A and B are shown apart, each in its own frame.
Chain A
Amino acid sequence: MTKSTEPVLEATEVSKRFPGVLALDQVSLSLGPGEVHALVGENGAGKSTLVKVLTGVHRPDGGRLRLHGRPVAFGTPLEAQRAGISTIYQEVNLIPLMSVARNLLLGHEPRGRLGGIDLPRLHAQAEHVLAGYGLSVDVRRPLRSLSVGAQQMVALARAVSVDARVVIMDEPTSSLEPREVATLFGVIGELRDRGISTVYVSHRLEELYQICDRVTVLRDGKVAHTGPLAGLDRLRLISLMLGRDLAEVRAVGSAGPARTPDGAAPVPVVETRGLARRHVLRDVSIEVRRGEVVGLGGLLGAGRTETAKAIVGAMPVDAGEVIVAGVPLRRRSTAGAIRAGVSMLPEDRKAEGIVPTLSVRENIALAALPRLARAGVVSDARIDRVVETFMRRLRIKAASPHQRVSELSGGNQQKVLLARWLAMSPKALLLDEPTRGIDVGAKAEVQTLIEELAGAGLGVLLISSDLEELVSASDRILVLRDGAVVAELAGADVTEEQIMAAIAARSGEEPHG
């Protein structure tokens, strides 16, 4: 699809270092005129850092940027915008209280004879522009009265109208209705015809194959692959993103679980029926039985974390129910779910898990406090007993129970959080990326622990982006895509290859056996 020769925007061996991490390691990206370029990668791969370098938010530590062949260095996002690079972020960044027309033509308003804004012309012009995007709204209304999709369309129209040469779209369809997505794709097609290039960041493979010409896959801050999208097998694309070599996976073959879920009770400990939330989850039904580890597979944004959060009542849902040990949860709240016996180990340990100002002891006792108290007065003796038990059982390494939890290593913090839940003697645990960001030794320990817990009769729902871990720990795996369960793998089918095949399969098509 690349028509002309010279690239519009070219990044050469760009590097960016943050304290402790090399976010971008000699990344190159070249964008031809009218080209729609997909930028993909898992969490922490460096996509957003690259976008921020291209749009002048971050200054690169190494490498060069060229626009139309001329070297450029953007000091601020405004400079990048003036040079013709427009960005549409997930969160619409316009002025919600101003009218649609004012937002659209801000800084380019048609002027009347006395230099004032010519409102009738402003409105007429705005209506005309928006009609081109299939949007017929009252442009006098404040922007925030529009749907998110319509707002995004206004942002897009604005981005393009200010003489953009390159438009960068970060997950533009995450809150759009199918009809709006179609309009968006129409607009992207027009941009292509006018020679405006697009960088398209998304996790939705369907969309990438529909509109993108070329793709760059980032992994751990490096370019894992770059090239035309047509002819690139979906399975191959996913293996590039996840960093699992296909040949290697095939050679290793099935690493199915050694454990069989014997003694499985007929009633599942946790069951969901038709969980749904607009743009996030579609009809998710899951069963986790006693002593079983159920894995949730899928790419970032497929709805894995959201499923867990919906189960424990940390995210509202539009429809569906959660049943714990045969009893439906009536009022949806985390407290209710915890009382019923289901708890979640959150993905972001620092933001959602530990209370950094408190000690190891208090962090462990946090959820169980009411149980360890008499008439609202905490019993030190009871807390000490529980804390000591779990610090020993989970081998938590701390100078003393009174050490601040923020001084512990990531692995030990994770164990503190596990202890917090185990102190509640739960029926089921939902573990969201339990081994992310912890060192190898601790990782193995946590994995062994998961196995032990399931062995002791706990139901475990495991979310992990580490396919190897997911396959070796899970008895069954459910694969999610775009918020829906697309495959269930059990027994000999629990393999990395099968998971990737399920992720790669087109909508409405079953993964081949």
Chain B
Amino acid sequence: MAEAVAERQGIDRARVLAWLQEYGVYASVLALLLFNVAFTPHFVDTGNFRTQLVQVAPIVIVSLGMALVIGTEGIDLSVGSVMALAASVVVLYLGYGALPALLLALLAGGVAGAVGGALVAYVGVQPIVATLALLVGIRGLANVLVPQLREFTDPTLIALGSDSVMGVPLVVLIAVGLTAVVTFLVRRTTFGRQVVAIGGNRTASELSGLPVRRVLLLVYVISGLLAAGAGVLATARLQASDPTSLGMFMELSAITAVVIGGTPLSGGRIRVLGTVMGALLMQLLQATLIKHNLPQSWTQIVQAVIILAAVYAARERGAR
């Protein structure tokens, strides 16, 4: 009897944790929204919503790439520095026009990603080490290119950061569009399915004839491109290029968003929408605590608790 009861409880607990991993992030975002609607004055203002979404957009874009990389059982620590690199490149070449400068910035991000990807896929360096080297090196390169804050007045680039289409900021629309593209990539393309399979079991993928190295390389290139895009958008919004501090600790925000979105660090599973929700949750949390006049340190502590909860739920699921 007692055993049967214990077993029942065990199953229920596992179910709860599985549910938590699957939908916990959505439930948390919803709960936080409801709380704010009820208790936070001026929260429902469109102006406030705009600010929140504009702030979170670059994090979402970087997190999408991070989710792909983590899906392969890797990690990309270089994303923040790649943002800074893109910020420097874009102002350096702004003289040729906004579009060429934007393309060159993306190219720089892609090349940075390719270097990391090549180290991981072909040389066999551990992802954390390869991208840590890039984190340091690329930040340095960005600072060499543009040593101090440089303001610009190019109207096209400024428009990219501050224009709206039918009341929705362009930056937010781009983030939504990229989310849709990455979701499609993961769910519907051969490449996406191969990414997940490689993360789930690399040896089996190799024996099944998957182009493992090419896929890994491409994943890091995509992460670099997305980070560069986020860097350009953030720069456009600032109306100044600031390679010294732009994207600082972005890798941590992105990893946090991916993890609390339910993507396991052990790879083999990618939750794109969950990742977006993870970024939103962190943003909302910060906004809520600030609006209620709680110090920044509180935000950090609450974030830590949420990360631990997410990892705990994922761990129980995996051990089953």
Contacts and interface: CB of A to CB of B under 8 A. Distances in A.
A377 B196 contact: no
Contacts of A377: 188-190
Find the residue from B194, B203, B205, B209 having the highest chain A CB count within 10 A. B209
A355 B200 contact: yes
Interface stretch (A204-212, A364-372, A456-464): A364-372
B211 A335 contact: yes
A367 B200 contact: no
Contacts of B267: 357
Contacts of A338: 208-209
Determine the main DSSP class of A at the interface with B: mixed
B209 A357 contact: no
Nearest to B198: A355
Contact of A358 (B190, B197, B207): B197
B237 interface: no
Contacts of B268: 355-358
Contact of A334 (B189, B200, B208): B208
Nearest to A357: B268
Interface in A316-347: 333-335, 337-339, 343-344, 346
Contact of A369 (B190, B200, B201): B190
Interface string A409-427: 0000000000010000000
B128 interface: no
B208 A420 contact: yes
A356 B200 contact: yes
B200 A373 contact: no
Contact of B209 (A334, A352, A354, A362): A334
Nearest to A379: B188
B227 to A, nearest CB: 23
Nearest to B267: A357
A338 B188 CA distance: 23
B191 interface: yes
Find the residue from A314, A357, A373, A420 having the highest chain B CB count within 10 A. A357
Contacts of B208: 334, 338, 366-367, 420
A354 B197 contact: no
Contacts, number: 81
B12 interface: no
A110 interface: no
B206 interface: yes
Interface string A456-490: 00000000000000000000000000000000000
B193 interface: yes
A189 interface: no
B111 to A, nearest CB: 23
Contacts of B201: 351-356
A266 interface: no
Contacts of A231: none
A120 interface: no
Nearest to A362: B193
Contact of A355 (B188, B189, B205, B211): B205
Interface residues of B, number: 23
B240 to A, nearest CB: 39
B210 interface: yes
A357 B203 contact: no
Contact of B197 (A333, A334, A335, A366): A366
Given A334-B207, A344-B207, A354-B204, A373 B196 contact: no
Contacts of B203: 351-352
Contacts of A373: 189-190
B269 interface: yes
Interface in B10-30: none
Nearest to A346: B207
Contacts of B199: 357
A444 interface: no
Contacts of A366: 193, 197, 204-205, 208, 210
Interface string B171-191: 000000000000000001111
Contacts of A378: 188-190, 193
B194 A369 contact: yes
A508 interface: no
B209 A335 contact: yes
Contacts of B269: 357
Nearest to B208: A367
Contacts of A420: 208
A351 B206 CA distance: 12
Given A369-B194, A376-B189, A357 B211 contact: no
Interface in B49-90: none
Contacts of B206: 314, 334
A367 B197 CA distance: 10
Contact of A376 (B191, B200, B207): B191
A159 to B, nearest CB: 32
Contacts of A357: 196, 199-200, 267-269
A353 B200 contact: no
Contacts of B209: 333-335, 337-339, 343, 367
B124 to A, nearest CB: 15
Contacts of A367: 208-210
B210 A335 contact: yes
Contacts of B190: 369-370, 373, 376-378
Interface in A356-399: 356-358, 362, 365-367, 369-370, 373, 376-378
Given A366-B210, A367-B209, A352 B200 contact: no
A312 interface: yes
Contacts of A343: 209
A451 B190 CA distance: 33
Contacts of A353: 201, 204, 207
A357 B205 CA distance: 13
Nearest to B187: A378
Contacts of B188: 377-378
A92 B53 CA distance: 57
B211 A369 contact: no
A352 B197 contact: no
A355 B193 contact: no
13 contacts: A312-B207, A335-B210, A337-B209, A344-B207, A352-B201, A357-B196, A358-B196, A362-B196, A366-B193, A367-B209, A369-B193, A376-B190, A378-B193
Interface of A: 312, 314, 333-335, 337-339, 343-344, 346, 351-358, 362, 365-367, 369-370, 373, 376-378, 420
Given A355-B196, A355-B268, 11 more contacts: A314-B207, A334-B208, A338-B209, A344-B207, A346-B207, A355-B201, A358-B200, A362-B193, A362-B196, A369-B190, A420-B208
Nearest 5 pairs of A and B residues by beta carbon: A357-B268, A338-B209, A355-B200, A335-B209, A357-B200
